[in-house]
Amino acid sequence: MKRLKFAFPIFLITICITTSSYGKWVWNKEMGWIESASPEVTTMNQRYKYALSLLVEQKYLTAIKEFESIIDADPNSEYAESSQINIGWAYFLNGDCKRALKAYENALQKYSGSKRTKEILERVYQLGITQMDTDEEAAIKVFEKIVEKQHLGPLAPDAQVKIADCYFKLGQYEEALDAYEKFLEEYPKNEWVPYVQYQIPLSKVYHEKKQERNYGLLVSAREGFEEYLVSNPNSIHVKDAKRMIEEIRVVEAEREFNIGEFYLRRKKPSSAAMYFEYVKTDFPDTIWAERANERIEFLRMIEAIK
């Protein structure tokens, strides 16, 4: 018992002395436990750990300066590339997406072909996703960098879809169409294909609305939705696609009915009847079919047609 009595204080003293020689430990979900080293460091490893601790402690601008000094001190060291990547990450966490992208671009340029290229592009992609909520045009440029850098890389298909989505959000439906169609050309077997097959006709519908009755585009959209249903009978967008088809068919029926009305006003009942019959036959479940049938019965009653 006496030994235990004296051993405990000695053990406690040992712990205190040991821990006093290190800085505090801070937790970050990206890096785990990071020791906050003293700024009075000498080796490159110590300097890098110190910079990381500043990053974890959210002292982003100070961390950036420390990472930059590491690169300047030895641009070819194993810590230089990591420092350049972390500069981009620090700018991103500080809300400066423009400088973050520039830092990542520098990393891709300085360390072209590096084993960490995929990691850098993943961070660039995350940057683009963040910007989609606030600045779609800036996000497009970010995603274009990914496609340009690794056209056949794992992130390129996702980036190409996001480019199209950004154009769609901006209401630039023609550009969105081009981007979606480019995706199908470049990545025809990718998991995003069903989604893109739905977005293409949807973009045509919205584009048609901006152009005020571009019926050729509208018909193309309906055909696109029909092809989508054939290719993706169990997709989550099946109900939406069917609804869009019905809405388009109503517009088509109205257009054909109005052409019939035009010929009727021009006193050409036979031509008018031809369009009314077309509406009645091809769009039977619409209100325009009912109206077309009424016109046909009227023309027959006055013996304008047989």
Sign of CA dihedral 30, 31, 35, 40: negative
Cα(257)–Cα(246) distance, rounded to whole angstroms?
A: 16
* Percent of the chain clearing pLDDT 90 (strictly above): 72
Return the structure tokens found at 142. Answer: 């970010």
240, 222 in Cβ contact below 8 A? no
Per-residue pLDDT at 227 exceeds 50: yes
Q: DSSP readout, 87-140?
A: HHHHHHHTT-HHHHHHHHHHHHHHTTT-TTHHHHHHHHHHHHHHHTTT-HHHHH
Over residues 29-55, mean pLDDT: 72
Three-class secondary structure of residue 287 per DSSP? helix
Over residues 95-112, mean pLDDT: 92
Determine the Cα angle at 159 with ends 55 and 154, to 5°.
85
Q: What is the pLDDT of residue 149?
A: 87
Q: What is the pLDDT of residue 92?
A: 94
Predicted confidence band of residue 33 (pLDDT cuts 50, 70, 90): low
pTM for this model (two decimals): 0.75
Predicted confidence band of residue 21 (pLDDT cuts 50, 70, 90): very low
198, 183 in Cβ contact below 8 A? no
pLDDT tens track for 141-179:
999 999 998 888 899 999 999 999 999 999 999 999 999
Predicted confidence band of residue 15 (pLDDT cuts 50, 70, 90): very low
